[in-house]
Structure 1
């Protein structure tokens, strides 16, 4: 694994915008626009390194599914903050019926520097983004800059195959709707959904657009409807389940939820059981089930325990995204008991306490690997860099190549 400095392609910004990255720049707190898509450098891997990463991702995904089953079987949904009985019942039923429910993709965030086993930082299994960059833009970049080289990137083919394989699970009688929130000002959610919609169309599915805010409720029929008053029978949403079930229409979601048994009216993708994997509490459950596993970091739910005085720890809100609310506590920092909650979290918001494993620095840049899973199979790699130890909204996406 090597970071290699390059000269960006002429007119690179227009090029990647045409490929779907309509958000190539990020405005930083100082008001300056800096590249989000950053091709002033790339990461180079050997084939052996990528093969080892693929094996790690496959094993981690299997372990995560086992941990999800453990959570359901031992009735531990409260550890994930799922205390509403109706939501817990929906998640449990979805888990038991998961073979009947379409499930498309997820992204592992890994710590890796090329010298040892990759370490799991978290699993984004419900609403992962940076997909367009990983699947499309970096592939075209490689063809321009390293023609004839390779890349860990079978995302497009696997996504199309996943939709095709799961088409029979979709209810008949309507298009598969694709939804994002119109509150997304940057366009990242919009383009992620647009790309997934494109792969579904290439798989032969009939699709349509809608925003979450445009979804209507027909009180006469007791059904969700689109802007043309058609029943929404199936919908892919880039919208977290914890929002979906607590919004003003959350009760209607649970009342009409199609969990594969044919009794509901709306099939939501990703399915409700993905709440088991997209929650940081999963990290602590994994450590309980696989203590000492070389690809896991020690993690606890009741406090940092021994981590406070030995390795240090990171406090992660169970449902935080893009580094929001995450705090880093070096060795010897006071234990969490009695401390103020991490910045950006509520006083009552639970956290997972994970061993501090600082991201490796390449030329002063802290790097995290985003390894994609599609249809339960490893499918590709995306890389983000940050200036600090927390990969936040100011991180940069860099392409990679196998040489």
Structure 2
């Protein structure tokens, strides 16, 4: 795994914008960073792919163990009135993409290590599925790249199309950076490529019709199915939580409510309890350990409220509005410094249990919302 510097395409901004990546620059520097790329061997990609398959197997086992043990489920800060709904959705397996991004530490040689699983509101999707492939085709057409993400997403929408109503709403917040808007718009494109009609809506514009006992859009039309890029832990704590619980009986929510378990970092501690010493896991606990560790809120986004502890002292930290629900403490993994100040995290995507490609984000010691996306190729 080598990081190689390269001259960016002179018109790269126009090209990525034409493919939908309007959020390509952050804090005055490129978020989409094609001034470098990572080169992997086929064996290294196979190692990442194998780890992704194995981690998915562990998450399946952990999910069942958590739902079978009320004491474990109670650690996830899910309102008790939703516990049965989570169990019901897990057992029923309602229509879903069942996709997500395993964030991994990897140095090109040792076993990939799980940092967390972003499977409820994963972003950097368009970049991994489309933008880096187009870059590769233009710059290195003779080389390969690990991404089948676009085809697998379209294929999964095709698989579940008959189980969905005539139209699916796609909801997200009106984020200033447009990161959520870009991700949701891209997923609409994949659904439409599978022959599904889509309707965009902002989360704040979703209403409730008391007479029809259903959620409605801004045209007062019933919402029968919705893909939402909005965390379940926020939804279940909103003022309309009782109506939300009622809607779970007949309305299709993508992704389903059981994703609250997998996306909660409490599962990292449960995984270690169930599979201690597993080569793809880092030791994680609900208690502050004696050794070097990373403190992570059980519920957080974009690396907020994370701190790195070495020899009992905090050496790096981020701010944010998370942490009230508690923390987990994960053994510190020393990321390779591929370039001065650049520590790559591998985002390994999965769709319905199958590895679907990788995306690489670079940042400092803590990967946050200022991380930059760097493309990759496969050589050898």
Do the two structures share a fold, i.e. TM-score over 0.5? yes
1:140 pairs with 2:117: no
Instruction: Pick from 68, 75, 100 the counterpart of residue 79 of structure 1.
Output: 75
What is the deviation of 1:229?
A: 2.0
1:190 aligns with 2:181: yes
Q: Give yes or no for the alignment of 1:214 onto 2:205.
A: yes
Aligned to 1:6: 6
Counterparts of 1:25 and 1:342 in 2: how far apart (Å)? Answer: 21
Query: What TM-score do you get using the length of structure 1 for normalisation?
Result: 0.90
Per-residue deviation, 1:323:
0.7
Q: Give the Å deviation of 1:246.
A: 1.2
- Is contact 1:327-1:343 (8 Å) kept? no
SS at match of 1:220: coil
Q: Which digits, 9 at most, give the CA deviation of each residue in 1:3-37, with x for residues without a partner?
A: 0000000111121111111111111xxxxx01101
How far apart, in 2, do the equivalents of 1:331 and 1:290 lie? Answer: 26
Does residue 375 of structure 2 align to residue 383 of structure 1?
no
1:35 counterpart residue number: 30
How many residue pairs end up in the alignment?
375
Q: Structure 1 residues 373, 221: closer, same or farther in 2, change over 3 A?
A: same
> CA separation in 2, counterparts of 1:158 and 1:377?
9
Q: What is residue 85 of structure 2 aligned with on the other side? A: 90
Q: CA deviation at 1:344?
A: 3.2
How far apart are the structure 2 equivalents of 1:318 and 1:134? 26
Q: Whole-Å Cα distance in 1 between the matches of residues 323 and 192 of structure 2? A: 45
Corresponding residue for residue 47 of structure 2: 52
Partner of 1:123: 117
Q: Give ranges in structure 2 of 5+ residues lacking alignment.
A: none
Is the aligned partner of 1:356 residue 2:332?
Answer: yes
Equivalent residue number for residue 338 of structure 1 = none
Q: Secondary structure at the match of 1:272?
A: coil
Which of 289, 301, 304 is matched with 2:288 structurally?
304
What SS does the corresponding residue of 1:354 show, helix, strand or coil?
strand
Distance 1:34 1:71 in 2: 43
* CA shift for structure 1 position 399: 0.3
- Are the structure 2 counterparts of residues 78 and 143 from structure 1 closer, same or farther at C-alpha, using a change threshold of 3 Å? same
Report the Cα distance in structure 2 between the residues aligned to 1:366 and 1:125, rounded to whole angstroms.
Answer: 22
CA distance in 1, matches of 2:196, 2:324: 43
Shift of 1:342: 8.1
Equivalent of residue 275 in structure 1, options 242, 260, 266: 260
What's 2:277 paired with? 292
Cα deviation for residue 345 of structure 1 reads 5.1
Structure 1 vs Structure 2 CA RMSD? 1.5
| Closer, same or farther: CA 253–389 of 1 in aligned 2, 3 Å | same
Could you say what secondary structure the match of 1:200 adopts? helix
Aligned-partner SS, 1:147: coil
| Residue in structure 1 matching 2:101, options 85, 101, 107 | 107
How many Å separate the matches in 2 of 1:7 and 1:333? 40
> Does structure 2 retain, via aligned residues, the 8 Å contact 1:313–1:329?
yes
Q: Counterparts of 1:342 and 1:384 in 2: how far apart (Å)?
A: 17
